[in-house]
């Protein structure tokens, strides 16, 4: 069977992306500031997500800013917030035109009101789009998501004996996303860093040495083919793709 056929018959529903290596890419390519890497990475996310949707992927979640990233320099944090605001206010028109639905996974704590408003406006504007869903993991932490889900459950009056995995899943950020089938991390690092901890319990993991801005459509094809060739067991018998 040809590679294209293998991929087409076993497309993951949800692909998670840990966008790592932006600053190192900028340094390796002669830029004076690592901030240039974030701009290149931001542009590449739009391209890769669009390509993934055209291949049949339904959901793409991107780890764009973690709750730990506030510890970076003020200059870098401010630059990243400006990029995110631009995405939500200006470039959302392009995503909307292409039929992409936008979701947000994260906490409001620490975000400025204009960022929150822009995200909420983008979600509302694109809520009926059906080409694919692009979920921004922004101000996101895997532990924090589970803490927030637990708090939400308690506030609804559930008792300890009512708690089930399904109930927790229903109270995660944007629960309609479902589990991550394929998780890709760039730049040679091999860890989750708190990304989608609940949803990644049975994810197939693919790590690449490519820095995120250098990650291409062909690299995604390689990851999709790797996913398609694996036997997913989910703790029991093997299941294809």
Active-site residues, by number, are: 20, 69
Here the tokens at position 229 are 């060739």
**Quick check: helix, strand or coil at residue 65?**
strand
**Which run of H or of E encompasses 122?**
helix 113-126
Q: Taking Cα atoms as reference points, which of 73, 81, 83, 75 lies closest to residue 43? A: 83
How do 182-185 and 204-207 pair as beta strands?
parallel
With 0-12 / 13-18 / 19 or more C-beta atoms within 10 angstroms meaning exposed / middle / buried, residue 137 is buried
User: To 5 degrees, how large is the angle CA 61–CA 67–CA 68?
Assistant: 115
List, in sequence order, every beta strand (DSSP E) within the chain.
14-18, 59-66, 100-105, 132-140, 182-185, 204-207, 231-232, 239-240
Side-chain half-sphere of 112: how many Cα atoms within 13 Å?
11
Instruction: Give the integer Cα–Cα distance in Å for 66 and 85.
Output: 16
**Which run of H or of E encompasses 23?**
helix 22-28
């Amino acid at each position: 069977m040809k590679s294209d056929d293998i991929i087409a018959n076993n497309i993951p529903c949800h692909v998670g992306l840990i966008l790592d290596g932006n600053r190192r890419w900028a340094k390796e390519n002669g830029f004076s500031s690592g901030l240039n890497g974030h701009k290149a990475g931001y542009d590449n996310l739009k391209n890769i997500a669009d390509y993934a949707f055209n291949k049949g992927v339904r959901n793409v979640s991107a780890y764009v800013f973690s709750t730990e990233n506030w510890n970076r320099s003020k200059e870098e944090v401010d630059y990243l917030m400006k990029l995110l605001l631009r995405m939500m206010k200006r470039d959302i028109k392009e995503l909307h035109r292409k039929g992409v639905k936008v979701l947000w996974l994260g906490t409001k704590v620490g975000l400025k009101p204009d960022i929150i408003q822009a995200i909420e406006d983008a979600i509302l504007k694109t809520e009926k789009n059906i080409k694919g869903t692009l979920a921004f993991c922004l101000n996101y932490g895997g532990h924090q998501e589970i803490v927030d889900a637990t708090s939400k459950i308690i506030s609804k009056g559930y008792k300890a004996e009512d708690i089930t995995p399904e109930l927790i899943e229903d109270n995660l950020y944007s629960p309609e996303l479902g589990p991550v089938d394929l998780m890709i991390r760039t730049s040679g690092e091999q860890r989750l860093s708190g990304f989608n901890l609940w949803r990644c319990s049975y994810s197939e993991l693919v790590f690449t040495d490519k820095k995120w801005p250098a990650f291409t459509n062909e690299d995604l094809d390689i990851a999709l083919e790797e996913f398609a060739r694996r036997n997913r067991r989910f703790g029991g018998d093997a299941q294809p793709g």
